Amino acid sequence: NAGVTQTPKFQVLKTGQSMTLQCAQDMNHNSMYWYRQDPGMGLRLIYYSASEGTTDKGEVPNGYNVSRLNKREFSLRLESAAPSQTSVYFCASRISPGEQFFGPGTRLTVL
């Protein structure tokens, strides 16, 4: 089992460019999450998906969109990247109530 995989690991974008961060899990979990991590801010929830076909906004959804393509995959899209979106992005899936399994992260820089 690979657990939670994220691609790419690193990305540099120019302001206004778009990109999609990919996340996949092979643990048959229903719920999946996207977080961003910034220094001094801890983890902030961007979007989550309780099950295939459903998505909901978290704390900081502005500037992002998500797609729960199937049970395995949950992608995060930046339509027009801004420097404020420079961050480390983590995908996670839920093992049990509250217990989450994290991917290795994507380090995104927006110039």
Partner 1 sequence: AQSVTQPDIHITVSEGASLELRCNYSYGATPYLFWYVQSPGQGLQLLLKYFSGDTLVQGIKGFEAEFKRSQSSFNLRKPSVHWSDAAEYFCAVGPYGAGNNRKLIWGLGTSLAVNP
Using CB under 8 A as the criterion, what x/- string covers residues 2-41 for binding partner 1?
--x-------------------------xx-x------xx
Interacting span for partner 1 (CB under 8 A) from 18-26, 62-70, 77-85, 94-102: 94-102
The correct pick among 34, 76, 81, 105 for binding partner 1 (CB under 8 A) is 105
Q: Between residue 46 and residue 85, which ones bind partner 1 under the rule CB under 8 A?
A: 48, 50-51, 56, 58
Token digits for 33? 């999450």
Q: Does residue 96 sit in helix, strand or coil?
A: strand
The correct pick among 60, 68, 90, 110 for binding partner 1 (CB under 8 A) is 90
Using an 8 Å Cβ cutoff, are 55 and 61 in contact?
Answer: no
Binding footprint of partner 1, residue count (CB under 8 A): 26
Q: Does residue 84 sit in helix, strand or coil?
A: helix
What does the radius of gyration of the chain's CA atoms come to, in whole angstroms? 13
Q: Measured between alpha carbons, how far is 86 from 42 in angstroms, rounded to an integer?
A: 14
Of the candidates 24, 27, 68, 69, the one whose C-alpha atom is nearest the C-alpha of residue 50 is 68
By CB under 8 A, name the binding residues for partner 1: 4, 30-31, 33, 40-43, 45, 48, 50-51, 56, 58, 90, 92, 94, 97-105
